[in-house]
Amino acid sequence: MKNLLGSSIEELENVALNYGQAAFRGRQIYKWIYNYRNKKKNIDEIEILPLDFRKKLKDDGFKVSELTLQEKNLASDGTIKLLLSTTDYESIECVGIPTEKRLTACLSSQVGCPMDCKFCATGKEGLKRSLKTSEILDQILFIENEMNRKVTNIVFMGMGEPLLNIDDLLLSIRSINQDFQISQRKITVSTVAIPKMINKLSEKSFQILGNCQFTLAISLHASNQKTREKIIPSAINYEIKNIIEDCKQFVRDTGRRVSFEYLMLSGVNDNLEHANELSNLLKGFQCHVNLIQYNQIDEVEFKRSSLKIIQSFQSRLSNNGIAVSLRKSRGLDKNAACGQLRQNARNK
């Protein structure tokens, strides 16, 4: 199967030339693929192309989409969550988060996840496989089609661990930047943190992208090793102090500050002692902390911290000189937590 999604203008021009067509036919395919208003998904629907050219492409296995829409949920705040099916009958999720000036696409990088974070629904069924570049990019098109507007920002915070699919991740970022015309500075890659992979991410970014301008977000969620291992079992392989050292190296290599995601879990990581501990861990480091309200799920024991506790935690970090913000959860009324829509569909 040959998926054209993710192909550059030059690559599509070569496809056209290989079929005896003029190069501009490749440019026509390019404009057709990346037009967010275009809801057609099949090669034979590219009506601007000659019929015989379309037929040859289709007969030879060319496609522009391998995903199909299985289910969608629209929350009262405008957030849309899509459950998409793959050709091998797996399911993945993506989310569109709109504001007046932007539309953020939250993308998955894998089917399932091997990390088994205790607060997350995605890891309950383990990892099935990694997504191909075209499958990652197609999520953007589905969100744009459903919301009838162009995606402006990308966060790799959906299903899966992006650093375990690093090549397709970076090829996706290349296309998001060059083909979807979204600046790298509007792209965030969120990772639980894998030993040696933070350094590999910056190294391969320069190789594949020529630079590294996207934001790295570490799902830290704890101020010490013991607490982190309690909620993220894989943390046993990666000491929190080593994560911070690797992040400092990432800043030196790229010039980009690192974000730390901190999910506020009631009675687990949300007291002021934890805030002081986190401050000491990050002091003197070019970084930013995002405090996150927890999307509760029935399958786990964790509860959301109260807003009062979160605000006290935020104030303590700020008073300690740490750049911090509170990111409110979206789509709370529509099973917005990662993996919930997929899990609910399987249980039907």
Q: Which residues are marked as active site?
A: 93, 338
Q: Which of 93, 30, 40 has the alpha carbon at shortest distance from 65?
A: 40
Structure tokens at 261: 């995601």
Instruction: List all residues 6 or more positions away from 45 whose beta carbon is below 8 Å from its beta carbon.
Output: none
d(CA 155, CA 176): 11
Structure tokens at 279: 């401050």
* Rg of the chain taking only CA atoms, in angstroms: 21
SS3 37: coil
Q: Apex CA 157: angle with CA 273 and CA 311, to 5°? A: 30
- Cβ atoms of 222 and 228 within 8 Å: the answer is yes
Q: Which residues pair with 82 in a beta bridge?
A: 72, 94
Structure tokens at 115: 């990390």
Burial class (CB in 10 A: 0-12, 13-18, 19+), 124: middle
**Helical (H) or strand (E) element with 244:** helix 240-254
Tell me the C-alpha to C-alpha distance, in Å, between residue 293 and each of 21, 34, 268, 290, 324: 54, 34, 13, 10, 14
Q: Can you count the helices (H) and strands (E) in the chain?
A: 11, 14
